[in-house]
Structure 1
Amino acid sequence: MKHYKLILVENDDDERFFMKEEFEAFGAFEILGDFINGDTLVEYLEANPSAKPDIILSDLNMPGKNGYDIISFIKSDPQYARIRVVITSTSSVVSVREKCMAMGASDYLIKPEIFVDYGAYVREFYQKMEKLD
């Protein structure tokens, strides 16, 4: 089983807790950090240049730097450009997904409707990342 270094960016405390719990339980992810928005993510990346993740899983809509801002920041900086950015949101609007993908996101996943469904979400996420390798 391939292992990935992962950073989670989610402003909702409960959502972030359940996501982190399921990613850790799955066993294929090393969570380098979990952050409340893109501002705290950027602070971490700049303060820890050697601790680069393989993947950043980010919520789309957050106060401060949001998912769009994170894609732009990561893809515009050569030292981070190889990091996969996967956006997650409750929105299933096709134009939102297409915008994220056009900006350079590796994927766009719709969040589960209830927190207990994060087990299936993590399995799907892992399968999608394996296909990108």
Structure 2
Amino acid sequence: MKEDYVHIILADDDEDDRMFFTEAFEELKIGTKVETFKDGLYLMDYLNSSDSALPHVLFLDLNMPRKNGLECLSEIKANPKFNDIAIAIYSTSASEEDIEKTFVQGANIYIKKPSSFKVLKKVLSEVVTTNWQYHTNGLNKDNFLLRL
């Protein structure tokens, strides 16, 4: 049986960012199921539990306490169980170093957190409607950073 929704997870320690993220999907009216985690440790506990439903798209904040986004990305990429998860880095940082590191470690896309709710909805809509199986074949640094 095929699922009729896109399962999305956001790991972000900022409560406001988690709330805006969830609200944006509610307003978009795309069939999604959104779950949020307040840090990388909770995220990895969830992903590694045997009965967890793996997301189609995982949004990872880089700067989180206890376990940051880069540490999560490394763990996820090291485990074949997670090969089908598209990973979107979702950060306030736009530093070339962060973008380079996450690209090299295998994230699918890098999104600088938008400053307006309207732009957030546009970005999320774009990410969720991308066919990642196709997109990752031609992954290069030019299409890695989502600029809207």
Query: Shorter-chain TM-score category?
Result: 0.7 to 0.9
Shifted more, 74-83 versus 109-118: the winner is: 109-118
Structure 2 counterpart of 1:30, which letter?
Answer: K
Structure 1 counterpart of 2:25, which letter?
Answer: F
Residues 83-121 of structure 1, C-alpha deviations (whole Å, 9 max, x = no match) = 111101112222211110100101101111244542222
Q: Which residue of 1 aligns with 2:131?
A: 130
Q: Distance in 1 between matches of 2:49 and 2:132?
A: 31
TM-score, normalization by structure 2: 0.77
SS state of the match for residue 16, structure 2? helix
TM-score, normalization by structure 1: 0.85
Residues 1-43 of structure 1, C-alpha deviations (whole Å, 9 max, x = no match) = x842111111100110010111233223222x21011100111
Q: Which residue of 1 aligns with 2:109?
A: 107
Unaligned runs of 5+ residues in structure 1 are: none
The answer to whether the Cα contact below 8 Å between 2:8 and 2:33 also exists between their aligned partners in 1 is yes
Q: Which residue of 2 aligns with 1:85?
A: 87
Q: Does 1:23 align with 2:41?
A: no
Q: Which of the residues 58, 61, 73 maps onto 2:60?
A: 58
Q: Distance in 2 between matches of 1:58 and 1:13?
A: 14
- Deviating above 6 A after TM superposition, structure 1's stretches of 4 or more consecutive aligned residues are none
Unaligned runs of 5+ residues in structure 2 are: 135-148
The answer to whether the Cα contact below 8 Å between 1:15 and 1:115 also exists between their aligned partners in 2 is no
**How has the CA–CA distance of structure 1 residues 6 and 48 changed in structure 2, closer, same or farther, with 3 Å as cutoff?**
farther
* Percent of aligned pairs sharing the same letter: 33
Shifted more, 113-122 versus 76-85: the winner is: 113-122
Q: Which residue of 2 aligns with 1:39?
A: 41
The answer to whether the Cα contact below 8 Å between 1:111 and 1:121 also exists between their aligned partners in 2 is no
The answer to whether the Cα contact below 8 Å between 2:74 and 2:105 also exists between their aligned partners in 1 is yes
Shifted more, 80-89 versus 59-68: the winner is: 80-89
Number of aligned pairs? 130
Residues 41-96 of structure 1, C-alpha deviations (whole Å, 9 max, x = no match) = 11112335351111111111111111101111111011112211110111222221
